[in-house]
Structure 1
Amino acid sequence: MRYILRKLGFYVVAAWIAVTLNFALPRLIPGDPVQLIMSRQSQLGPVPPGEEEVLRRMLGLGHGNILGQYWDYLVSIVQLKFGLSVTYFPTPVTTILRSSVLWTLVLVGMATVISVLIGISLGTLAGWKRGTWLDSLVPSTTFLAAVPYFWVALLLIYLFTQVWTVFPDQFSYDPGLTIGWSGEFVSSAVRHAILPAITIVLSSVGGWMLGMRNMMVSTLSEDYVSAAEAKGLRSRTVMLGYAARNAVLPSVAGFAISLGFVISGSLVMEMVFSYQGIGFQLLQAVSNNDYPLMQAIFLVITFAVLSANFLVDVLYGFIDPRTRLAR
């Protein structure tokens, strides 16, 4: 319990620092979203007096000096009220977050889990059977990991939408469909997600495979693995129960960090495919000086990463009891 409380206290402080930075950084970007909206309204007619203050309150930007704005910002976080989006004015930020986070979780989350499972499985076999043809596949997979996401995405778009018209190249579903659980909408969403998912898997599986393979080679030289082999245990038992069980520990921490960043999506990938995930919305918010949407997205990303790391720290303490004894 003391171990969990100590970790929780650390992450609470980290969350407060991140929240404060989340408040300060968008305000360092040149431009004023309120003036942007007022300039648009002035093209339609005269702007009523006091409109600027009303817009600041509606957008959740606070009022008064910087300390007053910071207090309003903390209160809005507790109440889960992030104001209205400048980019999609007058749509509430929470409405945009609900839809975009769901798209990102389904696509990037599933693709990340698939790439981790494939990479760790192949890395375990490659490390166990080092020197074989399977081990020789590692350099080719790491080459894919070194290629930027957008190059892989553009190549897949060219091959499967131009050379062979197999998959759609834009958006997360056909624009004419209504979002729901109908068979037509689900099939459209799946077809639109295939190419982005393949992009993520191809670009990330090599890193997981290489890391697991190297840890397996290192673990196989340990005394407890040699002792297990000397006992005459089956190869499968030694590989999974002794070698892979300890070699996978660094991958557990890496997987948690990856899950935390899942919520931010793959920004470049979502740009290339015009996929309406949270990474795409972040780009729109930065382009339009949309402080409320930017702050809400950064806040979601921050708490997702901190929560994932906290859970892994707790889990790691049970997997490897030695970490609980660290001072």
Structure 2
Amino acid sequence: MNYIVKRTAQAVFTVFAVITLSFVIIRLLPGGPADYLRAQLIQRSGGSLTQEQINQRIASQTNIAVDEPLYVQYVDYMASILRGDFGTSVWYSNEPVIAVLGPAIPWTVFLMATSLFIAFVLGVTLGAFMAYREGSGFDVGSTGVSLLTNSVPYYVIALLLLTFLGYRMELFPTGGQYASETTPGLNLEFVLSALHHGALPILSLVLASFGGWALNMRGNSIRVLGEDYLRVARLRGLPERRIALRYVGRNAILPMYTGLLIAIGFMFGGSIILEEIFAYPGVGYYMIQAINARDYPVMMGAFILITVAVTIGVFIADVTYGWIDPRAEGGGTRESY
């Protein structure tokens, strides 16, 4: 229990520190968001707005009252973030940040979770076969392919797929979440359209990441295959399938559990470049647009959202690993970082 309390406190402190950092970036850096918004408001209004009106608009968009003392600004900013109020977007017609990023979250989760699931299952399966056929032609060839795909950045694969399958062969859409003529809802036409539009981004991530999972699974399985308890299991006459699934596969996949949950946490951060390449309106796409438009409230909202997702992923991995693997040490010696 003390261990869980300690890890919970660490996770809360991490999120608290990131929100504090975002406040510092917004308020204290020269030429930061407040100064930029002030210049924009003065330019757009042609001098018709008073200083008080400008300060009020800056406060509504950034959650910071620039005419208040620094400690008051910080308390107000923290309180608004804890309420889920990330300010108002400058670029997207003065909409609340949560209204801009909220509808994009399910699409990012769909894209990244699907690709992560496929890559993990494919990599684990391939790695297990590679370990059982260690030294064979299949093992050598699969290891080479895994090393190659794992070495190529996903955005390079994404650009190649987009160029050849999207533009030249026109087999897949080159942007959007679904066809414009499709009515969103739980219907077959919409589901198929969403899968069609997400196929290339998903394939890009799968091709770039399954090799890493396969190599990890291969190494873990080979190590487990050399354990003495497997020899005892074979001497007892246990079926080879049971040995492969319950003894080898189960123990080889456990060290990959932490990496899987951390990868889930990094879903939002890893989507930034991919969604921009495929013009796929997710959290990463809107973050890039906010950076280009200097829409600081949206940018900071996305930054906080990504940090919270990563922190939660690491926290769940750290707390639950001891439950799924009783061999893990308890107390303060267990770490997943």
Q: Which residue of structure 2 aligns with residue 117 of structure 1?
A: 121
How far 1:97 moved relative to its partner?
1.4
Q: TM-score, normalised by structure 1?
A: 0.91
Q: Aligned partners of 2:113, 2:40: CA distance in 1, in Å?
A: 35
Select which of 223, 229, 236 maps to 2:234. 229
Contact 1:317 1:323 in 2 (8 A): yes
Q: Aligned partners of 2:157, 2:210: CA distance in 1, in Å?
A: 13
Q: Which residue of structure 2 aligns with residue 216 of structure 1?
A: 221
Structure 2 segments unaligned to the other structure (5+ residues): none
Q: Which residue of structure 1 aligns with residue 18 of structure 2?
A: 18
The 1:315/1:90 distance shift into structure 2, 3 A limit, reads: same
Contact 2:123 2:214 in 1 (8 A): yes
Q: Aligned partners of 2:322, 2:251: CA distance in 1, in Å?
A: 14
Deviations for 1:171-230, whole angstroms, at most 9, x for unmatched residues?
222346554445544333221111111111101111111111111112211222232223
Q: Aligned partners of 1:323, 1:301: CA distance in 2, in Å?
A: 30
Alignment-mate amino acid for residue 41 of structure 2:
M
Alignment of 1:312-327 (within 5 A): 312-321=317-326, 322-327=328-333
Q: Which residue of structure 1 aligns with residue 48 of structure 2?
A: 47
Q: Aligned partners of 1:9, 1:323: CA distance in 2, in Å?
A: 20
Q: Aligned partners of 2:91, 2:179: CA distance in 1, in Å?
A: 22
The 1:182/1:17 distance shift into structure 2, 3 A limit, reads: same
Alignment of 1:58-77 (within 5 A): 58-63=60-65, 64-77=68-81
Q: Aligned partners of 1:271, 1:99: CA distance in 2, in Å?
A: 17
The 1:37/1:103 distance shift into structure 2, 3 A limit, reads: farther
How many percent of aligned residue pairs carry the same amino acid? 34
Contact 2:275 2:284 in 1 (8 A): yes
Alignment-mate amino acid for residue 3 of structure 2:
Y
How far 1:133 moved relative to its partner?
3.5
Deviations for 1:229-287, whole angstroms, at most 9, x for unmatched residues?
23222222222211222221221000001100113342221111111111111112222
Contact 1:37 1:86 in 2 (8 A): no
Range moving further from structure 2, 84-93 or 3-12: 3-12
How far 1:47 moved relative to its partner?
3.1
Select which of 271, 275, 281 maps to 2:280. 275
Q: Which residue of structure 1 aligns with residue 306 of structure 2?
A: 301
Contact 1:260 1:305 in 2 (8 A): yes
Contact 1:150 1:268 in 2 (8 A): yes
Alignment length (residue pairs): 325
Alignment of 1:113-262 (within 5 A): 113-136=117-140, 137-175=142-180, 179-181=184-186, 183-262=188-267
Q: Aligned partners of 1:127, 1:47: CA distance in 2, in Å?
A: 73
SS in 1 for 2:171: coil
Q: Aligned partners of 2:30, 2:190: CA distance in 1, in Å?
A: 39
Contact 2:26 2:32 in 1 (8 A): no
How far 1:139 moved relative to its partner?
1.6
How far 1:39 moved relative to its partner?
5.0
Alignment-mate amino acid for residue 23 of structure 1:
F
SS in 2 for 1:268: helix
Alignment-mate amino acid for residue 99 of structure 1:
P
Q: Which residue of structure 2 aligns with residue 85 of structure 1?
A: 89
The 1:80/1:129 distance shift into structure 2, 3 A limit, reads: same
Alignment-mate amino acid for residue 318 of structure 1:
W
Structure 1 segments unaligned to the other structure (5+ residues): none
Alignment-mate amino acid for residue 160 of structure 1:
L
Q: TM-score, normalised by structure 2?
A: 0.89
Alignment-mate amino acid for residue 323 of structure 1:
E
How far 1:112 moved relative to its partner?
0.9
The 1:220/1:2 distance shift into structure 2, 3 A limit, reads: same
Deviations for 1:65-92, whole angstroms, at most 9, x for unmatched residues?
4322221111012211111112213111
SS in 2 for 1:84: coil
Q: Aligned partners of 1:248, 1:181: CA distance in 2, in Å?
A: 35
Q: Aligned partners of 2:201, 2:42: CA distance in 1, in Å?
A: 38
